[in-house]
Amino acid sequence: MRSIIVLLAVLWVCDGVKFGQLCNGNPNNRRRTSDSFGQGHYGARRNGKLHEGLDIVCQDGSAVYAPFDVTLQGKLIVYNDPRKAAIDEGINLRGEGLCFKLFYVRPDRTTGSVRKGERIGTMLPMQTVYPGITSHVHVQMCDKSDPTSYF
């Protein structure tokens, strides 16, 4: 019985959570659709694997913002591949009962609290690694569940 109450509390806390603007120049969090490198929705096929995040359009060099009040939980390495070094950074975050990661972002700092709308980093130069792709921030939930309902 106690676990059911905890589950309902978690669902209630997460119900209605929506990401605020992630990237300068994209106030409505427009999603990457389809380009020559594939599609940006959760579950899209990628070389026999499933895309485990949602891609939000962001121009190279743009400011990236906290989508709501968050706690920065450290830097992450996206690929660990020297050929992709230009975009091999991201950040772990927690807020609004969610744990999530933002890929292709150079964080301004990696610990502490940040208020909604404050700058947390810079979009890395995706065009240097994938010329012609729709540049984007990749949003991935820590448990790899679908983040689409939060947008």
**CATH code at position 38:** 2.70.70.10
Task: Select the more confidently predicted residue: 125 or 7.
Answer: 125
Domain count, the chain: 1
Instruction: Determine, yes or no, domain membership for 11.
Output: no
How many percent of the chain have pLDDT more than 90? 86
Instruction: Determine, yes or no, domain membership for 64.
Output: yes
Average pLDDT over the chain reads: 92
Q: How far is CA 97 from CA 91, 105, 114, 142, 150, in A?
A: 17, 22, 15, 12, 12
Instruction: Determine, yes or no, domain membership for 44.
Output: yes
Instruction: Determine, yes or no, domain membership for 58.
Output: yes
Instruction: Determine, yes or no, domain membership for 131.
Output: yes
pLDDT at 8: 41
pLDDT at 47: 81
* Neighbour tally for 137: CB within 10 Å: 26
Instruction: Determine, yes or no, domain membership for 6.
Output: no
pLDDT at 41: 97
For residue range 5-62, what is the model confidence (pLDDT) as tens digits?
A: 444 444 444 568 999 999 999 999 999 999 999 999 999 998 888 999 999 999 999 9
Contact at 8 Å (CB) between 65 and 20? yes
Instruction: Determine, yes or no, domain membership for 83.
Output: yes
Instruction: Determine, yes or no, domain membership for 60.
Output: yes
Residue 42's domain comprises 18-150
